[in-house]
Amino acid sequence: MSTSVNDQLDAQIAAKQAAFCALSDLVWDTPETNYLEYQSAAAHKALLEKEGFRVQTGLAGLPTAVMGEAGEGGPVIAILGEFDALPGLSQQAGIAEPRPQVNGGNGHGCGHNLLGAGSLLAATAVKDTLAALGIKGRVRYYGCPAEEGGSSKGFMVRAGVFDDVDIAISWHPAAFTGVNNPISLACNELNFHFSGRAAHASASPHLGRSALDAVELMNVGVNYLREHMPSTARIHYAVTDTGGHSPNVVQAKATVRYLIRSRTLPDLLALVERVKNVARGAALMTETTLSHEVLSGDANLVGNTPLEQLMHRHIERLGPPPFDEADRRIAAEFQQTFSADDIAASFGRFGLPVRNDVPLCDVVFAPESGDGTLVGSTDVGTVSWVVPTVQLRGATYAIGTPGHSWQLVAQGKLPAAHKGMTHAAKAMAATALDLLQDPALIARAQEDFARRLADRPFINPIPDDVDPPLPENAHV
């Protein structure tokens, strides 16, 4: 793409950024969790309509999923956004001490208020440039709910929402700016329900069959399994139903929820079966019955070298976000609430040497930086198995900020957050426009995609018979 087009694109983003920063702040002010993002989805829909997109809602049967399309003919470039918050992270903005707005309330502890607004800003700039230059092609903004454990993109993939998309682009707020190293863990979340027989725990204990014992034995068995699984795999659990509160009753029902993660989709499916076998053993030992259900699941990310190289060129052209001394001063205040380990881990995650005198990102990290040993899961991974996908990490908060923390929530409306969001939008929009102007770039990305998946058939980690965990489908 020519320098003049890049300049035009950057100017369009600069001219419109205030409305999208306001959208981000509005979503921050009304934090909503998985599949309850009605106000956030409505705000995105309203801005899509104001900007002239053709809007659809309720994609894949998800009430808070929204999509806007612009342009005609040509290839389809999707820019993915999110807007869900996390429970229990309510926090006042801009204050470097824990001070909840609402005790026990929600908060944007992963920056998804910025993620959705930044992606929509990028899509809007692409739309305007396509119209101004008369370029054939379509850009779509996908507002995807429930990334935090709800796996909405997996349900959207299963429903065919991305079937006609040529390339998918996304980003995520971070401590540093660069192309995301495409490593994540595939995961499944499951409930294991045990059913036994109630009895008086003292007068007739021999007649009881304890479902709670089965849960405890399963947890012990999985702890032994941890020694015999890959070092990159992770297993987490929470007892969601103990069956009651009286120790003088043999508990007839109990439920434990497991989140199982592994580096690749095939490895995940194998590990899930091993955990199921442990559960079966616990049921056998306690003479209880077992049932289980999948709640959600994400595939691991599939990288795409041509897309990553293209995006990296645009990030290098832009340089790091334009933070100023006021931004750095506030970031330094937040750093006082972090441990030295938090700060060192943040640098290490991106393969950068530790610099204790740098509170905000001032570099662009290289693609494939970091060792990828400490990573989480994302439902963008499932999209990357059906569409060539690339992601940006965009610096929006102080180096060392723990993920899913009150500190991250507190920084979500600062000027630095808005600058980082706008910077990410410029890189995504420029990447998308290059692809729309040069079909050869899309062809190279799709060739890379086909090569990577030639011997790895896609199996959606969400089975066909699993309903989305909408409130009306809530599992006990």
Q: Tell me how many domains the chain contains.
A: 2
Provide the pLDDT for residue 475: 45
Are 63 and 192 within one domain?
no
Same domain, 387 and 262: no
The domain in which residue 344 lies consists of 5-184+301-454
Mean pLDDT of 202-225: 97
468 occurs within a structural domain:
no
Q: Does 173 map to a domain?
A: yes
- Crossing angle of helices 38-50 and 112-133, rounded to 10°: 20
Query: What is the pLDDT of the chain when averaged over all its residues?
Result: 95
> If you ran DSSP here, which 8-state letter would residue 342 be given?
H
Domain boundary among 297, 327, 343: 297
pTM, rounded to two decimals:
0.94
Q: What is the pLDDT of residue 142?
A: 98
Beta bridge partners of 258: 190, 237
The share of the chain scoring above pLDDT 90, in percent, equals: 92
Structural domain includes residue 476: no
* pLDDT at residue 235 tops 50: yes
Residue 294 pLDDT > 80: yes
Kindly state the average pLDDT of the residues 360-382.
85
Q: Which residues contact 30 (CB under 8 A, 6 or more apart)?
A: 39, 40
pLDDT value at residue 155: 97
CB neighbour list of residue 47: distance below 8 Å, 6 or more residues apart = 19, 20, 23, 120
Q: What percent of the chain has pLDDT over 70?
A: 97
Would 464 be classed as within a structural domain?
no
Q: Does residue 64 belong to any structural domain of this protein?
A: yes
Query: Looking at the structure, do residues 412 and 305 belong to the same domain, yes or no?
Result: yes
Whether residue 460 lies inside any domain: the answer is no
Q: Assign residue 229 the CATH number of its domain.
A: 3.30.70.360
Q: Regarding beta strands 76-82 and 137-144, do their DSSP bridges make them parallel or antiparallel, or are they unpaired?
A: parallel
Same structural domain, 257 and 159: no
Do 116 and 261 lie in one domain? The reply is no
What is the H or E stretch that residue 346 is in? Answer: helix 340-349
The yes-or-no verdict on residue 474 having pLDDT over 80 is no
Question: 466 lies in a domain?
Answer: no
Task: Tell me, yes or no, whether 293 and 309 share the same domain.
Answer: no
- Of 297, 325, 350, the one marking the end of a domain is 297
**Is residue 391 classed as helix, strand or coil in its secondary structure?**
strand
What's the pLDDT score for residue 369? 73
Same domain for 237 and 152:
no
H or E stretch including 56?
strand 54-57
Query: Does residue 365 share a domain with residue 328?
Result: yes
Residue 476 pLDDT greater than 50, yes or no: no
Per-residue pLDDT, averaged over 36-40, amounts to 98
- pLDDT tens digits for range 158-191: 999 999 999 999 999 999 999 999 999 999 999 9
CA angle 84, 89, 94 (to 5 degrees): 95
Mean pLDDT of 356-382: 87
Residue-level pLDDT at 149: 87
Instruction: Examine the domain organization and report whether 345 and 379 are in the same domain.
Output: yes
> How many CB atoms are closer than 10 A to CB 102?
10
Clarify whether residues 48 and 163 are in a common domain.
yes
Predicted pLDDT of residue 379: 96
Residue 448: which region, alpha, beta or left (left: phi > 0; alpha: psi -120 to 50)?
Answer: alpha
Q: How far apart are alpha carbons 250 and 396 in whole angstroms?
A: 52
Say whether both 268 and 169 belong to one domain: no
State the CATH number of the domain containing residue 29.
3.40.630.10
Decide which of 297, 325, 359 is a domain's last residue: 297
Interatomic CA distance for residues 66 and 23, integer angstroms: 15
Confidence of residue 371 (pLDDT cuts 50, 70, 90): low
Which segment of 352-361, 372-381, 440-449 scores lowest on mean pLDDT?
A: 372-381
Same domain for 436 and 420:
yes
The reply to whether 462 falls in a domain is no
Lowest mean pLDDT among 152-156, 179-183, 373-377: 373-377
